[in-house]
């Protein structure tokens, strides 16, 4: 089992460097002013250049206008757009067509009924992110460091890859992967020392834990020497 790892909400060079040096596959940058992880286009341009092809860049937006998306794309030159608001399937399809970039649609999950929505968006998005539903009092979307019942995703088949998000950290990512077999994981607050402030040590620990869990799962599913021998003899 291999797993893609996304470190999201990066806004400083040291945090970005920590993610890149630790081997993150995707790095996310938030273009949403109410978020403590928001960056402006000038900062995005500088950080985007710093990535230098070492990971894929993700521009994260929430119910953004075409003008904001165009500005973010011009600044960051992302590989993916991540839509984290209340975008409809029609809006997702339009953005994907208009900007010519793969789209990740983030969806809140609190119960099994939410997965029906995931199947709908899987028809118009390239990937789906399954995140914990924000608390009722929250002023912005996202899991807010909370996890949902990962057992809801057992044997999930959407037709497109999904990312698991919400409440993940170095201490629980192995369990999350064992239950969901998610092809990708996304973390933001789980690698922070305070809201919006990434911790280099926590980034390294998370990536190491996710890689170790994926490697262990691959070993468990690999055929034994005896099984390989039997297969050859048939």
Catalytic residue among 114, 131, 186, 208: 131
Q: How far apart are CA 124 and CA 115, in angstroms?
A: 15
The three-state (H, E, C) secondary structure of the chain, written as one string: CCCEEEECCCCCHHHHHHHHHHCCCEEEEEECCCCCCECCHHHHHHHHHHHCCCCEEEEEECCCCHHHHHHHHHHHCCCEEEECCCCCHHHHHHHHHHHCCCEEEEEEECCCCHHHHHHHHCCCCCEEEEEECCCCCCCCCCCCCCCCCHHHHCCCCCCCCEEECCCCCCCCHHHHHHHHCCCEEEECHHHEEECCEECHHHHHHHHHHHHHHHHHHHHHHCCCHHHHHHHHHC
Active site (annotated) includes residue 117: no
8 is catalytic: yes
Phi/psi class of residue 77: alpha, beta or left (left: φ > 0; alpha: ψ in -120 to 50)? left
CA pair distance 131, 137, nearest whole angstrom: 17
Which is catalytic among the residues 8, 21, 45, 186? 8
Catalytic positions are 8, 131
């Amino acid at each position: 089992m291999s797993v893609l790892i996304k470190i999201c909400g990066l806004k400083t060079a040291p945090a970005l460097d920590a993610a890149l040096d630790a081997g993150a596959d995707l790095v996310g940058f938030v273009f949403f002013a109410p978020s403590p992880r928001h960056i402006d286009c000038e900062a995005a341009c500088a950080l985007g250049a710093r990535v230098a092809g070492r990971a894929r860049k993700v521009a994260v937006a929430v119910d953004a206008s075409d003008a904001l998306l165009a500005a973010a794309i011009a600044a960051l030159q992302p590989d993916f757009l991540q839509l984290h608001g209340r975008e409809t399937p029609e809006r997702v399809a339009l953005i994907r067509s208009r900007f010519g970039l793969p789209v990740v649609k983030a969806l809140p999950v609190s119960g099994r009924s939410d997965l029906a929505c995931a199947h709908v968006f899987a028809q118009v998005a390239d990937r789906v992110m399954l995140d914990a539903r924000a608390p009722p009092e929250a002023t912005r979307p996202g899991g807010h460091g909370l996890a949902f019942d990962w057992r809801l995703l057992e044997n999930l088949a959407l037709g497109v890859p999904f990312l698991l998000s919400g409440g993940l950290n170095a201490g629980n990512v192995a369990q999350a992967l064992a239950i969901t077999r998610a092809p990708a994981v996304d973390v933001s607050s789980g690698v922070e020392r305070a809201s919006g402030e990434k911790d280099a040590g926590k980034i390294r620990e998370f990536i190491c834990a996710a890689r170790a869990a994926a490697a262990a799962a691959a070993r468990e599913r690999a055929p034994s020497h005896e099984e390989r021998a039997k297969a050859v003899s048939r």
